[in-house]
Structure 1
Amino acid sequence: MAENNFEGEGREFRCGFIALVGRPNTGKSTLLNRILDTKIAITSAKPQTTRNRITGILNGEDYQAIFLDTPGINVKKGLMRSHLVKIALSTLNYADIVLFIIDAKAGIKKDDIVILDKIEKVDAMKILLINKIDLLKKEELLPLIDSLKKYEFIEEFIPISAKRGTNLKRLISVVVDNLPIAPRYFEADIITDRPEEFLFAEYIREKIYRLLQEELPYCVHVEVEEIKERKEGLIYVSANIFVEKESQKGIIIGKKGEMIKEIGSRARKDIEYFTGCKVYLDLRVYVKKKWTENEKLLHKYGYTSDEN
């Protein structure tokens, strides 16, 4: 993609922040990866896979769109869940545009109504994205859109399929046209402000949930301890996986270590694709009892909003 040109050809450069919000599993991270044409946000069939606000940056010739992916919002109890909701809602404070994403097949649920109430009060353009339209019959889509028009503060309704890329060009066009006139916030060759340690840890966590989504609840945290370049361009990555129980540790390691080998093999491929280098991935598993209900550990691991 061509670099931004703030002063070129008399164009007014546009730059701004776009918050992606919605219930768990509505496709926010899939959409962000599709928009950027690269993988910076992890995806899984398990709800609330995203736990931190992730920044993805789309650079065009006369714009820079800064997307803020957020944890899925739901009203279930639990200390970590409440922190995830705070992270998601605090992102609205930075947004010039809010992309509220719903699941076309599920329609509007209780958590969606909670989110709608929050974004109505935000001083930003509101766009409602009806995702997963590939799962709907054509005759089901228009009645769904009509039923949503009662939310008069929503300025655009755009049906999309993040998985297939349907209507993506229209979405980007609407977003760019409504960004404020401003200089770029990041350099033109940056696609995320997250460090490699964060991204690699997310790749590992994604593989754990994809392979073990039925066996493990929300108890896995991954920290990359070391990234080091070795001889002949090999990158050494050391990462620690934290769970809450010995039984969970056993599940991740697997019989004769087969599961952790598979997790490592899949995560290593993502890291190699991202870096363009061969990678040696060293994984270790530790138990930290009840870390998801420990305020200090949640803060240490980054599961807090700017308001905490």
Structure 2
Amino acid sequence: MTRSGFIALAGRPNVGKSTLVNAIVGRKVAIVSDKPQTTRRAIRGVATGDDWQLVLVDLPGVQRPRDALTERMQRRVERELEDADGALMVLNGEQGAGPGDRFIAAALRTAKVPVVIAVNKVDRLDNPGTVLALQQAAELEIGDEIFPVSARTGMGMKPLVDHLIALLPEGPFFYERGEGSDQPRDVILAELVREQVLRRTFQEVPHSVEVVIEEVEWPRGDLALVRALLWVETDSQKGIVIGSGGKMIKAIGTAARRELERELGSRVHLDLSVRVRRSWRADEGLLDRLGIE
């Protein structure tokens, strides 16, 4: 007998959902950044054991829609919850439960699936701080199980995973063993590049950048040529991404190349270019082509 199913992750931006997905899967399938709203697509991470398979849907940060991009992200949240076998709400233990968490909890109360809470980043708390964070989680009044965890160190992760597995219905696996994500290769590569942009830019730039992989060639077996295009919304953002004398784009490219080499298992030559496309986040046609549903 095997169990398999989908668990939707919900939580405020920057509570560590992507880190948690990567920890459960055992490899990077979702990019990590200290910037809010890192996740734009519902990245499916696939964790497979001897007789179980967890398909983790790392939802975009639940928020009130403010433009075409965030409206799409919010619709995706609602749709994924409808199709899930369970939901996992992630809280930032350092920050406690605030208005944003209560907004999400209210949305999860209407979900017709079991809800579990993970209080993340407890490795950074002392015992009284952990107790307080767990009390605040209980006051959200959703679900009946709360797990203190650290996705970064792995602390408390096994009991959480065991509980999520118990929520899964009996059924065959959805993905082959060894598959860590259902995202197309080019989307994974683009996200790895965007991760490095997020880590190095500030103010308005992170949310205004999208990365598209234009081409991947293999001139020989041990070398991949990757051409990537970075969309920004203004000339000033383009200047920031390129940097004085091209220093910023070079730093982004150097760091991104290392990530692409780990993903592709070969040497990589990365060719980055930056273009301005004003108000791309409100361009429904472009969002369609980017696969942001």
Structure 1 and Structure 2 fold alike (TM over 0.5): yes
Matched residues, number: 293
Native 8 Å contact 2:197 2:206 kept in 1: no
Q: Does 1:293 align with 2:286?
A: no
Q: CA deviation at 1:215?
A: 5.7
Show CA shifts across 1:23-59 (max 9, x none): 1001000111111121110111110011000011001
Normalising by structure 1, what TM-score?
0.91
Native 8 Å contact 2:97 2:136 kept in 1: no
Q: CA deviation at 1:206?
A: 0.7
Partner of 2:76: 87
Structure 2: any 5+ residue segments left out of the alignment?
Answer: none
Q: Does 1:119 align with 2:104?
A: no
Equivalent pairs: percent with the same residue? 35
Partner of 1:77: 66
Native 8 Å contact 1:53 1:68 kept in 2: yes
Partner of 2:262: 273
Q: How does 1:2-17 map to 2 (within 5 A)?
A: 12-17=1-6
- State the secondary structure of the residue aligned to 2:143: coil
Partner of 1:174: 163
Q: Tell me, in whole angstroms, the C-alpha distance in 2 between the residues paired with 1:147 and 1:254.
A: 43
Q: CA deviation at 1:297?
A: 2.1
Normalising by structure 2, what TM-score?
0.95
Q: Does 1:110 align with 2:99?
A: yes
Partner of 1:195: 184
Q: Does 1:139 align with 2:139?
A: no
- 204-213 or 76-85, which deviates more: 76-85
Q: Residue 228 of structure 2 is aligned with which of 239, 262, 272? A: 239
Change (3 A) 1:189 1:147: closer
Native 8 Å contact 2:119 2:137 kept in 1: no
- State the secondary structure of the residue aligned to 1:281: strand
Partner of 1:40: 29
Show CA shifts across 1:209-233 (max 9, x none): 1011346151101100111111242
- State the secondary structure of the residue aligned to 2:256: helix
Q: CA deviation at 1:117?
A: 1.5
Q: Tell me, in whole angstroms, the C-alpha distance in 1 between the residues paired with 2:271 and 2:10.
A: 34
Q: Does 1:65 align with 2:66?
A: no
Q: Tell me, in whole angstroms, the C-alpha distance in 1 between the residues paired with 2:130 and 2:278.
A: 47
- State the secondary structure of the residue aligned to 1:202: helix
Q: Which consecutive aligned stretches of 4+ in structure 1 deviate over 3 angstroms post-superposition? A: 150-153
Q: Tell me, in whole angstroms, the C-alpha distance in 2 between the residues paired with 1:232 and 1:173.
A: 41
Letter in 2 for 1:16: G
Native 8 Å contact 1:158 1:171 kept in 2: yes
- State the secondary structure of the residue aligned to 1:230: strand
Native 8 Å contact 1:75 1:111 kept in 2: no
Partner of 2:199: 210
Q: Tell me, in whole angstroms, the C-alpha distance in 2 between the residues paired with 1:245 and 1:80.
A: 17
RMSD value, Cα: 1.5
